[in-house]
Amino acid sequence: MRGFSAASAKAWLKAMDSASQRGKQGKIALPLNRRRHETLFARTEIPMKTLHTLSASPFALQFHDLFQELDIVATHFDSARNLHRALKTQKPDIFIGEFVYAWGNDYAGNTISNLDVTLRTLQAAAPRAKLIVVMQASEAAHIDKLLAVFPVHAALILPCTADALRNVLKDNPD
């Protein structure tokens, strides 16, 4: 049990026994950590999945109702730099990025798209994250170059429907 010391676990069990013997109902506030007090119910919640989206265009996915329905906490980033900064503290379970093909923007020819550095960073920071790429129809001809290098779970063409995104988010390859 993460966050519990042996003494606090014994105190919790003792409080549970005494509460059940007295027939009390409701929240039982117990010290689970020396520095702060938390309620029992705060420890028993089911963790929500986290989703990071990266899109600089106004066509960003706006499916707040779908994310809420699937118990996903979504955070949108409009720059890769801000996303990389956030990855230091919050590792996403799901990543959705907008693919834009790089039309020869560096002399070495190493850059495939705007997502290269972000996908490499996600491989190191959150290797179990489900990677989803969305793109305009004009960019679809170049997505194979990205798929050859990175393990992308799904690629969707904008405008994307809520049902298509729901199917991709519920689909579990593991």
- Band the pLDDT of 100: cuts 50, 70, 90: confident
- Band the pLDDT of 6: cuts 50, 70, 90: low
DSSP letter, residue 139 = G
Q: What is the pTM of this model?
A: 0.69
Residue limits of CATH 3.40.50.2300 in the chain: 49-170
Superfamily of domain 49-170: Response regulator (3.40.50.2300)
Q: Select the more confidently predicted residue: 168 or 11.
A: 168
Q: Is the pLDDT of residue 8 over 80?
A: no
What b/e readout covers 151-170, taking b as 16+ CB neighbours within 10 angstroms?
ebbbbbebebeeeebeebbe
Q: What CA–CA distance (Å, rounded) separates 121 from 150?
A: 11
Q: What CA–CA distance (Å, rounded) separates 57 from 104?
A: 20
Return the pLDDT at 110.
67
Q: What CA–CA distance (Å, rounded) separates 105 from 112?
A: 9
Return the pLDDT at 57.
76
* CA nearest to 133, candidates 99, 170, 109, 164: 99
